[in-house]
Amino acid sequence: MHHHPENNPQYKGLTVNEGVPSPPVVNPYLRERKKRRNFTPAEYAEQILKGNVTVLSQAVTLVESQRSEHQAVAQEVIEKCLPHAGRSIRIGITGVPGAGKSTSIDAFGMYLVGKRNRKLAVLAIDPSSERSKGSILGDKTRMEEISREPAVFIRPSPSAGSLGGVARKTRETIILCEAAGFDTVFVETVGVGQSETAVHSMVDFFLLIQLAGTGDELQGIKRGIMEMADGIVVNKADGNNIEKANLAAAQYRNALHLFPLPPSGWTPKVMTYSGYYKNGIPEIWDMIYEYIDFTQANGYFDFRRNSQARYWMYESIDEQLKNHFYQSPEIGQLLKIKERQVLHSEVSSFVAAKQMLDMYFRT
Ligand code: GDP
């Protein structure tokens, strides 16, 4: 080696540095990650009942999972939590995009946590999430203040499946949240379609957030949504929008008078507020608690929850029958064939359906 020209002290050319021993390929400080042992359903339930939100989150993930082994665990956890659930006030919140739902939920949440000593879970049902594969509703970044609150649990809309499936998961998540000690549950949805009915079927109070618009706002609202509402609140009653908001509120009040008295016996109230400037928020909650007292006294509160339980029983049956049918491997294959035959008018849709159902019930 020493007779190599590089080792000659006179040598002025490029030299090769002496190497260092090459480090091990694997970082020695990285210990093999302990594989997390899966909790048993009893352990999940125990942690949830202790208010452990990390475990609550994991259980909600199981509820949302499509995998049947996850579903099996989830159902057991739910069953164990059920006796400890039901003690919250469940509030549905809807309004068109831009109505101020996230701003308001942020403001409502800070008020409930700060002034009413509540623990709040914010859930969502977003019908569009199936297509976009990612829901914005219930997103933490939209609710900056409450997302930093330890007394608030935020969970975006489950993203996969039919509206019925998504709604069922949200309803089951309500149970887990209640078992974890959350005494107020918001279920947010966009006021644009079927999802309000789903939300209405799982809450005690349905709040409709409206905007004062151009004076023809009443034409824009679907009668169905207004009929479902237990309270209508006109947002953005601030600055030079106050008068318009008051006018809109008066119009909603008049419109509501034309509807028959709802089965709750409660005449829906209309109020104005500003979610952004946090004006009128205590009044909204006084109204909601007044409604709860009123319906608890006249029995409607329990009646509504019982009807909802019955509704969800049938919904679950429907959903599971459907899943079982579509997930059966024979049907999966046959579906493609029959679909093609129907498209080529080789067989009518009714006959095709009957053939597949006959086969399903025979196996
Ligand atoms: P969402 O789509 O229903 O969730 O509505 P956002 O909460 O995102 O609000 C839509 C827009 O309206 C945002 O630019 C908000 O800053 C604004 N906004 C929300 N609440 C109020 C309010 O009370 N007053 C005013 N002036 N603007 C508001």
In a domain, 17, yes or no: no
pLDDT band at 214 (very low <50, low <70, confident <90, very high): very low
* CATH number of the domain encompassing residue 78: 1.20.5
Please give the tally of structural domains in the chain. Answer: 3
Same domain, 71 and 169: no
Q: What residue's CA is closest to ligand 1, atom 14? A: 98
Tell me which residue range forms the domain holding 42: 37-83
Same domain, 215 and 70: no
Mean pLDDT, residues 235-255: 93
Q: What residue's CA is closest to ligand 1, atom 9? A: 100
Specify the residue for token string 């829906």. Answer: 268
68-102: buried (b, 16+ CB within 10 Å) or exposed (e) per residue? eeebebbebbbebbeebbeebbbbbbbbbeebbbb
In this structure, are residues 75 and 67 in contact, taking their beta carbons and an 8 Å threshold? no
The string of pLDDT tens digits covering residues 105-156 is: 999 999 999 999 999 999 988 866 544 444 566 666 788 899 999 999 999 8
The more confident residue out of 334 and 12 is 334
Residue 130: per-residue pLDDT: 46
Question: In testing the pocket of ligand 1, which one of 103, 106, 143, 243 has its CB within 8 Å of the most ligand atoms?
Answer: 103
DSSP-based three-state secondary structure for 278: coil
**What distance in angstroms lies between residue 97's CA and the mean position of ligand 1's atoms?**
9
**What distance in angstroms lies between residue 101's CA and the mean position of ligand 1's atoms?**
7
Cβ < 6 Å from ligand 1: which residues? 95, 97-103, 235-236, 238, 274-276
Q: Measured between alpha carbons, how far is residue 322 from residues 202, 281, 342 in Å? A: 22, 43, 21
Same domain, 100 and 160: yes
The string of pLDDT tens digits covering residues 295-329 is: 999 999 999 999 999 998 998 898 889 888 988 88
Same domain, 59 and 141: no
Least confident of 64-68, 96-100, 134-138, 321-325: 134-138
**Sequence-separated (6 or more) residues with CB below 8 Å from residue 348:** 342
Residue 136: per-residue pLDDT: 60
In a domain, 326, yes or no: yes
**What distance in angstroms lies between residue 258's CA and the mean position of ligand 1's atoms?**
30
Same domain, 216 and 334: no
Q: What atom of ligand 1 comes closest to residue 241's alpha carbon?
A: 26
276-297: buried (b, 16+ CB within 10 Å) or exposed (e) per residue? eebebbeebbebbeebbeebee
**Sequence-separated (6 or more) residues with CB below 8 Å from residue 271:** 231, 232, 233, 234, 249, 280, 283, 284, 287
In degrees rounded to 5, what are phi and psi of residue 122? -110, 115
Same domain, 159 and 203: yes
Same domain, 153 and 132: yes
Helix axes 300-327, 329-343, angle to 10 degrees: 80
The more confident residue out of 224 and 266 is 266
Specify the residue for token string 């909603």. Answer: 252
Least confident of 119-133, 183-197, 236-250, 301-315: 119-133
Question: In testing the pocket of ligand 1, which one of 94, 211, 276 has its CB within 8 Å of the most ligand atoms?
Answer: 276
Same domain, 169 and 144: yes
What is the average pLDDT score of the chain? 87
Same domain, 249 and 159: yes
Same domain, 152 and 273: yes
Q: What atom of ligand 1 comes closest to residue 105's alpha carbon?
A: 7
* CATH number of the domain encompassing residue 195: 3.40.50.300
Cα–Cα distance measured from residue 89 to residue 129, given in angstroms and rounded to the nearest whole number? 26
